[in-house]
Amino acid sequence: MPTFTERLRTASETARSLLCVGLDPDPARMPIADTIEFNRSIVSATADLVCAFKPNLAFYEALGLLGWRALEKTVQHIRAEAPHAIIIGDCKRGDIDSSAAAYATAMFDVWGFDGVTVNPWGGMDTVEPWLTKPEKGAFIWCRGSNRGAADIQDLAVSGVGNLTQPVYLRLARRSQQRASQGNLGLVVGATAPQQLADVRRICPDLPLLIPGIGAQGGDLADSVRCGVDSLGRLAVINASRSVIYASAGADYASAARHAASGLRDDINSTLDAIGLGWQ
Ligand SMILES: O=C(O)c1cc(=O)[nH]c(=O)n1[C@@H]1O[C@H](COP(=O)(O)O)[C@@H](O)[C@H]1O
């Protein structure tokens, strides 16, 4: 069975796209009330443009039981309409090993996600339960896109010898050491291109999930240049609100398609410019 990293490569090659559309349904912003219908329309409109979809579980949990139902139907719809696509359950869970194992069972076996986001604050032993299946991936939240990410993740700590290094790079190094099974990736925000470049240098072969373009203002071309591997792959560039709320009107699905295809094309133009376009 292919590893998660191999599956991600195949998904990107199939769609010729590094774009991930984030499915974060917010009743205050959705042009229609029905979450299932909204997600179905967005998925159908963007299916051929993406390598991945990323539902953030917060938005479904906030809707109670209806939200759980919407998430289940959304995953089913993605499997039917975009069978090539990786589905990342953005849950940012983190807990002691026994509890993390239960979370991993829920995310991988119950919901059926291909990948997840994991909060590594508790240390590497809390990440281990997410790494038991080579075909299922865990993206460790390494350097956030939010302003406050600098509060802790950029703090200097002592490393090898007398050298100091920021916390996020220590995490990147530990992740690189642990990544032999092809199922570990990192999340690095698009709003921090220097940190993104540093992580890519330390982790040349790991998948990087890069949120923060669009609504959060991260630079798309920088994200591509700093985030891809030496072959121009293994960066998953996420946009949520700028795609799914591209229009507040009845044309929301076609507007989402227009926004997603623009991002996909801009990403591919940058790949061409650095000589790493699709063959
Ligand atoms: O893990 C994530 O996906 C994530 C990490 C991070 O540092 N920043 C970040 O924005 N995200 C998620 O990526 C999505 C970004 O959404 P937009 O800002 O609307 O494109 C949200 O679901 C965030 O929770």
What's the CA gap between 237 and 221, in Å, rounded?
11
Fold annotation for 4-273: TIM Barrel (3.20.20)
Q: Where are the domains of the chain?
A: 4-273
If you ran DSSP here, which 8-state letter would residue 34 be given? -
Per-residue pLDDT of the chain (279 residues; tens, 9 = 90+): 999 999 999 999 999 999 999 999 999 999 999 999 999 999 999 999 999 999 999 999 999 999 999 999 999 999 999 999 999 999 999 999 999 999 999 999 999 999 999 999 999 999 999 999 999 999 999 999 999 999 999 999 987 677 899 999 999 999 999 988 999 999 999 999 999 999 999 999 999 999 999 999 999 999 999 999 999 999 999 999 999 999 999 999 999 999 999 999 999 999 999 999 998
Mutate to test the pocket of ligand 1, among 24, 50, 146 (most ligand atoms within 8 A of CB): 24
- What SS3 class is residue 279? coil
Pairing of strands 208-211, 184-188: parallel
Identify the residue whose tokens are 């802790």. 152
Phi/psi at 96 (nearest 5 deg)?
Answer: -60, 165
Residue 166 C-alpha from the chain's centroid = 22
- The pLDDT value recorded for residue 180 is 85
Q: 116-175 pLDDT, tens per residue?
A: 999 999 999 999 999 999 999 999 999 999 999 999 999 999 876 778 999 999 999 999
Q: Is 92 a catalytic residue?
A: yes
Compute, in angstroms, the gap from residue 26 CA to the centroid of ligand 1.
14
**Cα of 238 to ligand 1 centre, how many Å?**
8
Ligand 1 centroid to Cα of residue 146, in Å, is 9
Q: What is the mean pLDDT of the chain?
A: 97
Burial class (CB in 10 A: 0-12, 13-18, 19+), 230: exposed
Asked if 49 and 83 count as a contact pair (C-beta separation under 8 A), the reply is no
Give 70: exposed, middle or buried? Use CB within 10 Å, 0-12, 13-18, 19+. buried
* CB distance 154 to 168 below 8 Å: yes
| 212 CA distance to ligand 1 middle (Å) | 6
Instruction: Give the ligand 1 atom nearest the CA of 213.
Output: 20
Q: Which atom of ligand 1 is nearest to the CA of 56?
A: 22
**Ligand 1: which residues within 6 Å by Cβ?**
22, 24, 56, 90, 92, 117, 141, 144-145, 187, 189, 211-212, 214-216, 238-242
